[in-house]
Chain A
Amino acid sequence: MSVNLEKIREIFADYSPEKGNFMPLMHEVQKACGNWLPEEALKEVSKLAKMPLNKVYGFVSFYTMFSTEPRGKHIIRFCKDGPCAVKGSLVVAELLMKELDVEIGDTTEDGKFTLEETACIGTCTAAPAIMIDDEVYGNVTPESLNSILKKYR
C-alpha cells in the first residue's frame, strides 16, 4: 500500500511546536498509513515538521504505540500486568493466539489482526481487559471473547 503523502500534508498542516501536537498528529498519520509508519511517511513528517529524520525516528522508536513494521487492520492489545495477570489475562492471550493463529507481536495471515502485549490500560477493577483499536473491553472471559471478536471479523 503506497503512502498517501497528500493526507499526511493535510494532517500536519495543523502542526506547530507551540501547540504541543506532534504526538497527536503522529497518531493520525499512523492511522492514515494503515496502523504503521513507513519510512516514506517519516520522511514526509520530517520535512513538514522541520524535524531532522533521525529525531523523528528516535521519537517513533521510543513509544510502544508506534510501529515501523506493517501491522494489521485491527490492533488487539491484552494487558499482562498484575491486576489483569491474576485474573487470567494470560489465558485470554493464549486463547487469542489459538483463535487467530498468531504469535504475540505478529499479524494474522489475512492481515486483519495484530496481537500485542500492552502495559496496564487502567481497567484493573474489571480485569482481565483487552483493547481492540480504540475500544476497551473489561471482564473478558473465554465466552465473551468470541462475541467481541465477531464484531471485527
Chain B
Amino acid sequence: MKYNTKILSTENVLLKNIGIIDPLKIEEYVAKGGYKSLAKALKMDRKEIIDTVSDSGLRGRGGANFPTGRKWLFTYNAKADQKYLICNADEGEPGTIKDRILMEGDPQQLIEGMIIAAYAIGASKGFIYVRGEYRESIKTLRTAIAQAVEKGYLGNKILGSDFSFDLSVAEGGGAYVCGEETALIDSIEGKRGEPRLKPPYPPVEGLFQKPTIVNNVETLVNIPHILEKGAEWFRNIGASCSPGTKLFMLSGDINEPGIVETPLNISFTEVIEKFGKGVKDGEIKFAQIGGSSGNIFTPDMLGKVWTYERCCEFKVSYGTGSIFVCNDSRNVVDHILTVAEFFEHESCGKCTPCREGTHRVREILEKFAYGEGTVSDLELLKDLCLVMKKSPICGLGQACINPVLDAIEHYKSEILAN
C-alpha cells in the first residue's frame, strides 16, 4: 500500500494481524494460531458448524444483515450435484475500505473462513469476487491461495480429510452493481452484471443455477474466530441482539480517518470522538452511515446506539459501516448531488425506475445545486424517490434514494434555500 491506513482501535479480533504479519507469508499466519480452526472444523459434523454459526448470532456484514447461519442452512439442505461458496469482495460502497484492508493485510484469515464455510455448506468450489480496481488485493489473494494449496489447507483432501475445495479469484470490471449477489454471479458467468429476478434466491439457485452462498469478506473472517472461541463467546460481545464486532471506517471531516473494530453497543458520536478524535474544522452537521446508499444521520441520531434491532425499528441501516463525517461548512445538496452522480453512473440500466430514476434524481438535484430548484421540483423528487424505493429489481435502485429522502426529511429548508 502506497499510503497509510490507521487502525484506530486497539482491542481487535479481525484486525489483529493487520500490519503485524506479512500477508505474503503463510507461516506467519499459522504462527499466530492460523488454521487451527480449520483443523477443528474438519473434525466436526457439518450441521454442527452451521448451528454454531447460527447460535453465535452472526449477521452478514455486507450491509444486508441477514443471519449467516440461516442462510447457510438453505444451501446445506439443498440437493444438488454441485454447490458454490462465493466471497463478495466487490467493495464499492463509497467510504468503505474494510474488505481491502482484510484481503491485503490478512488474506489467510479470509481463506480459512471460506474453507470452513464451504465445508459446512457442502461446496467443493469457491470464488472470491474482487472488484477489478483492487489490483493489489487480487495479487495478494492469488499468492495466498497458492501458498495455502502448497501447505495442504486448500485443494484435494484438505488436511487428510475427505473434503476438497477449489478456490480461485474472480475479478470485477468496474461496476458497483456487481456487489449485488445475483449481478455478481452473472459477472462470474461471463455476462453483463445485471441482477436477476429473485426468487429464486442464490442459496437455492445461484452460480450456474446451483445452490450458492454469497458472503461478504467481513462475515467470512469472523468464522475462524467463532469456531475457535465458540458461539457463546461471540454472542457475549457487545449487545446481545447484534453480537460480535463490526468494522467501521471514518472518513471526511474527521481528525483521525481510519478503521475501527468495535462491538455495536456504542454510539456513532462516541466512535467519532473516541476513535476519530472528533470532527475536523468545525462542528458535526451530519454523517452518512453505510456508504452512498446509507442513511443520513443527524447529530441527534448519531448520539444513539444503533443495534440491528433499533435500525429495523427506525428503518435505517448502518450498512457496511462507513462513517462519512460532514462538518457545518458542508452543504447537504452538494453531498447528495455527488451521491446521485455516483448512482447515475453505476445503475446497471436493466429496470426502468432505476435506469431512468437515477438520471432524473441527479438532474433535479443539479437544479438545486445551481440555485434553480423549485418547490414543485422537490415534490417531484420525493415522488420519484418513493417510487424508486419499492419498484426496482435490486437493492441499488431501492436504496440509492435513501440519502435523498433523509435529506428531504431533515434538511428540507436547506435544500429549498438553495
Using a CB–CB cutoff of 8 Å, the interface residues on chain A facing chain B are: 17-24, 26-27, 49, 51, 55, 58-59, 62-66, 77, 80-83, 85-87, 118-127, 129, 131, 134-139
- Cα separation A131 to B134 with both chains bound (whole Å): 10
Residues in A whose Cβ lies below 8 Å from that of B190: 17, 20, 22-23, 49, 51, 59
**Distance to closest chain A CB from B342 (angstroms):** 6
If A63-B132, A119-B346, A125-B250 touch, does A137 touch B91 (CB 8 Å cutoff)?
no
Pick 18 A–B contacts, CB within 8 A, sort by A. A20-B188, A21-B170, A24-B171, A51-B190, A63-B132, A63-B193, A65-B132, A66-B174, A82-B338, A82-B339, A86-B330, A118-B133, A120-B92, A124-B94, A125-B97, A125-B259, A127-B257, A139-B3
Residue of A49, A59, A64 with most partner-chain B CB within 10 A? A64
For the complex, give the distance between the alpha carbons of A63 and B177 in Å. Answer: 10
CA distance A120 to B91 in the complex (A): 9
B338 CB contacts on chain A under 8 angstroms: 80-82, 85
A124, B249: Cβ atoms closer than 8 Å: yes
**Contacting residues, chain B, for A135 (C-beta < 8 A):** 2, 135
Counting CB contacts under 8 A, is B398 at the interface? Answer: no
Q: Is the CB of A119 within 8 A of B345?
A: yes
Closest to B403 in A: A82
Given the known interface contacts A27-B171, A82-B292, the answer about A126 and B3 at a Cβ–Cβ threshold of 8 Å is yes
Closest 8 CB pairs of A and B: A138-B3, A63-B173, A22-B190, A64-B174, A65-B174, A134-B135, A120-B94, A125-B257
Which one, B4, B96, B168, B172, contacts A124 given CB within 8 A? B96
B298 shortest CB reach to chain A, Å: 17
B94–A119 touching, CB < 8 Å: yes
Interface of chain A: mostly helix, strand, loop or mixed: mixed
Knowing A62-B175, A124-B94, A124-B249, the reply to whether A81 touches B342 (Cβ < 8 A) is: yes
Are A123's CB and B253's CB within 8 A? no
Task: Say whether, besides A63-B175, A118-B133, A124 and B97 are in contact (CB < 8 Å).
Answer: yes
Chain A residues, Cβ within 8 Å of B174? 63-66, 118-119
Q: In this complex, what residue of A is CB-closest to B135?
A: A134
> Is B187's CB within 8 Å of the partner chain A?
yes
**B171 and A23 within 8 A (CB):** yes
**Cα(A62)–Cα(B188), bound, Å:** 14
Cα distance, A126 to B121, chains bound together (Å): 38
* Residues of chain A lying within 8 A (CB to CB) of residue B71: none
Contact with A along B128-157 (1 / 0, CB 8 A): 000111111000000000000000000000
How many Å from the CB of B295 to the closest CB on chain A?
A: 14
Residues of B in contact with A (beta carbons under 8 Å apart): 1-6, 91-97, 99-100, 127, 131-136, 168-176, 187-194, 207-208, 249-253, 257-259, 288, 292, 322, 324, 326, 330, 335, 338-339, 341-342, 345-346, 348
Further contacts, 10 of them, CB under 8 A, given A17-B208, A24-B170, A119-B92: A17-B190, A21-B170, A23-B173, A23-B187, A65-B132, A65-B173, A126-B3, A127-B251, A127-B257, A137-B3
In the complex, which residues of chain A have a beta carbon less than 8 angstroms from the beta carbon of B342?
81-82, 119-120
Contact A122 B168 (CB under 8 A): no
A49 to B190, CA, bound (A): 10
Given the known A-B contacts A23-B173, A86-B252, are A120 and B2 also in contact in the complex, defined by CB atoms under 8 Å? no
Contact A136 B95 (CB under 8 A): no
- Chain B neighbourhood of A129, CB < 8 A: 3
B326:A64 contact, CB within 8 angstroms: no
Chain B residues closer than 8 Å to A27, beta-carbon distance = 132, 171, 173
Chain B residues near A22 (CB, 8 Å)? 189-190
Smallest CB separation, B383 vs chain A (Å) = 25
A126 and B173 contacting across the interface, CB-CB below 8 Å? no
In the complex, the answer to whether B189 meets A20 with C-beta atoms within 8 Å is: yes
Is A122 touching B100 in the complex (CB atoms < 8 A)?
yes
Docked pose: A63 CA to B271 CA in angstroms = 36
Taking CB as reference atom, which chain B residue is nearest A22?
Answer: B190
Residues in A whose Cβ lies below 8 Å from that of B176: 119
A19-B100 Cα distance, complex, nearest whole Å: 23
Known A-B contacts A20-B188, A24-B171; the reply to A83 vs B127 at CB < 8 A is no
CB-defined contacts of B92 to chain A, threshold 8 Å: 119-120, 122
Bound form: Cα–Cα A65–B251 in Å:
26
A83 and B324 in contact (CB under 8 A), knowing A23-B190, A138-B3? yes
Residue of B whose beta carbon sits closest to that of A135: B2
Given known A23-B173, A65-B133, contact A59–B192 (CB-CB < 8 A): yes
Taking CB atoms, residues of chain A closer than 8 Å to B288 are 82
Please report the C-alpha to C-alpha distance between residue A123 and residue B257 in the assembled complex, in whole angstroms. Answer: 11
Q: For B172, what are the chain A residues with a Cβ–Cβ distance below 8 Å?
A: 23, 63, 65
Please measure, in the bound complex, the distance between the C-alpha atom of A147 and the C-alpha atom of B406, giving whole angstroms: 42
On whether the beta carbons of A20 and B170 are closer than 8 Å, the reply is yes
- Enumerate chain A residues within 8 angstroms of B94, measured Cβ to Cβ: 81-83, 119-120, 124
Q: How far is A87 from B131 in the complex, measured between Cα atoms in Å?
A: 24
- Docked pose: A139 CA to B133 CA in angstroms: 18
Q: Are A138 and B2 in contact (CB under 8 A)?
A: yes
Taking a contact as CB atoms under 8 Å apart, the answer to whether A26 and B330 are in contact is no
A121 to B1, CA, bound (A): 13
| Residue with the highest number of chain A CB atoms closer than 10 Å, among B99, B135, B335, B348 | B135
